[in-house]
């Protein structure tokens, strides 16, 4: 009897084991098989777009707005990328992998994409951008792929481009050229009057209502711009600004409102001025005291040096606007100009006023002088907006003064002139 029970138990175990394996996935049901099939489908989908894909990259937490990139997937491992800032294509490789979901990684250096994530001297996180993404979903119509940044963890979107990508990006560039540095005629949202100015390089809307001020990140489009997150007041939402046919106004709220574009007398996205801190005849007491303190800070720094008295302010070459200080660092760095990218915009109804904001440092001098330099930049932006006024009896200079502190925070500047290409 004992042997009978042992045999029965063995047959039952064998039968159960067989049933267990019968219930296991097979063929396309295997997880590894399903993943392989899914990546194959993604390869096919990416390559199926004749004109490529539009990726709106959102570095950091949106402080740089959304940056548009064109991605053309030419094979199962090669991609060609250009952007609204760099329209010379760069080719590199990419691959899919499985790590907490299907991941799309651009794994060899691409100067167009990786400039937003690669560390730089004095700037360890660069723009704090992504080059590695988790694929979250593909829309039913196969026109939109939702991605999550591996570093920022923010959601971003790749959308199919339906026309020649160069021509499409030309339209995006035209939107930027038209809108940068402009203000809008006041609009109504949620029963409040709202003032808006456009930082076209920082890709931020400067929004004011009541006593509130906000910077809202956006991305340029072929029709104008769209906010990365809709701005809501009461029952009204602001999502897009779309240019009219002659590009003198924008429509918003689905065409419910129209606001004309406004340009100030001085546009420091296209002009520049220089001012100096040589004494009481060239700067107000607070501005002069601050610049002296900035120099003392640099003189006592690990990298001891000084700043020259002259400052360039605005756009003075073919790149984006900036503030530049002459930097002397004996034994470390040849005399050079330290540059920091800035942006400027108009204020509706105030033709001689402008507002400024910071974007990002540009060069190696930031490594050596960032403590003093940062202090100076904080002062410049915290005292904005500014007014530019003529000086009686002086045909070569203007007075650039803080609207909030015109008697103590001002600089004598050259009359703004346009940059040369």
| Cut 0.85: pTM above it | yes
How wide is the angle at C-alpha 190 spanned by C-alphas 188 and 192, nearest 5°? Answer: 50
The Cα–Cα gap between 359 and 127 comes to: 10
Residue 35's pLDDT is 59
Residue 122's pLDDT is 61
DSSP states of 374-396 as a string?
HHHHHHHHHT-SEEEEEETTEEE
Query: 288 by DSSP, 3-state: which?
Result: helix
The Cα–Cα gap between 316 and 270 comes to: 8
Nearest to 373 by CA among 201, 123, 128: 123
Residue 62's pLDDT is 84
The answer to whether residues 349 and 329 touch, using CB atoms and an 8 Å cutoff, is no
For residue 226, how many other CB atoms are within 10 A of its CB? 17
Residue 34's pLDDT is 52
Q: Which residues contact 265 (CB under 8 A, 6 or more apart)?
A: 351, 352, 388
- Give, to the nearest 10 degrees, the angle between helix 285-299 and helix 365-382: 160
Q: How many CA atoms lie within 13 A of 190 on its CB side?
A: 11
Residue 191's pLDDT is 95
Residue 367's pLDDT is 82
Nearest to 138 by CA among 53, 200, 77, 21: 53
For residue 156, how many other CB atoms are within 10 A of its CB? 19
Running along the chain, 421 residues long, what does each successive block of 10 average in pLDDT? 46 41 44 69 96 96 92 97 94 93 95 89 77 96 97 95 97 97 97 97 97 96 97 96 97 93 97 94 96 94 92 90 91 84 97 96 83 94 97 96 98 91 61
Residue 421's pLDDT is 61
DSSP states of 11-53 as a string?
HHHHHHHHHHHHTS--GGGSHHHHHHHHHHHHHHHHHH-TT-E
How wide is the angle at C-alpha 361 spanned by C-alphas 85 and 379, nearest 5°? Answer: 125
Preceding amide of 385 cis, omega within 30: yes
Residue 235's pLDDT is 93
* Whole-angstrom Cα Rg for the chain: 28
The CA-atom distances, in angstroms, between 281 and each of 78, 241, 284, 413 are 60, 44, 8, 11
Residue 100's pLDDT is 82
């Amino acid at each position: 009897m004992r042997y009978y029970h042992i045999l029965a138990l063995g047959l039952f175990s064998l039968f159960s084991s067989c049933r267990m394996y019968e219930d296991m996935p097979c063929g396309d049901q295997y997880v590894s098989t399903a993943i392989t099939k899914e990546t194959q489908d993604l390869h096919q989908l990416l390559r199926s777009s004749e004109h490529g894909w539009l990726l709106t990259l959102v570095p950091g937490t949106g402080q740089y707005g959304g940056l548009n990139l064109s991605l053309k997937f030419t094979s199962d491992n090669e991609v060609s990328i250009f952007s609204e800032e760099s329209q010379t294509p760069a080719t590199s490789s990419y691959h899919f992998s499985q790590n907490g979901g299907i991941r799309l990684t651009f794994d060899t250096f691409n100067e167009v994409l990786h400039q937003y994530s690669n560390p730089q001297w004095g700037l360890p996180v660069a723009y704090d951008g992504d080059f590695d993404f988790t694929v979250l979903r593909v829309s039913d119509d196969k026109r939109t792929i939702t991605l999550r940044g591996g570093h920022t963890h923010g959601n971003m979107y790749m959308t199919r481009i339906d026309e020649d990508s160069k021509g499409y990006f030309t339209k995006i560039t035209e939107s930027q050229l038209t809108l940068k540095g402009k203000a809008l005629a006041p609009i109504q949202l949620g029963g409040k009057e709202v003032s808006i100015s456009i930082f076209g390089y920082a890709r931020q809307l400067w929004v004011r209502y009541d006593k509130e001020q906000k910077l809202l990140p956006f991305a340029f489009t072929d029709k104008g711009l769209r906010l990365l997150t809709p701005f809501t007041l009461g029952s009204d939402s602001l999502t897009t600004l779309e240019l009219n046919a002659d590009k003198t106004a924008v429509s918003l709220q689905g065409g419910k409102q129209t606001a004309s574009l406004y340009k100030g007398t001085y546009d420091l996205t296209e002009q520049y001025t220089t001012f100096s801190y040589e004494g009481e005849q060239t700067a107000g007491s607070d501005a002069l005291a601050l610049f002296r303190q900035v120099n003392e800070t640099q003189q006592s720094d690990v990298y001891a040096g000084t700043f020259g008295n002259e400052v360039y302010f605005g756009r003075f070459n073919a790149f984006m606007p900036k503030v530049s200080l002459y930097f002397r660092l004996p034994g470390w760095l040849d005399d050079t100009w330290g540059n920091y990218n800035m942006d400027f915009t108009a204020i509706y109804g105030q033709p001689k006023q402008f507002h400024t904001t910071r974007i990002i440092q540009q060069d190696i001098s930031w490594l050596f002088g960032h403590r003093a330099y940062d202090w100076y930049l904080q002062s410049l932006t915290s005292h904005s907006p500014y007014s530019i006024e003529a000086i009686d009896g002086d045909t070569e200079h203007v007075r650039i003064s803080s609207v909030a502190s015109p008697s103590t925070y001002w600089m004598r500047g050259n009359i703004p002139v346009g940059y040369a290409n």
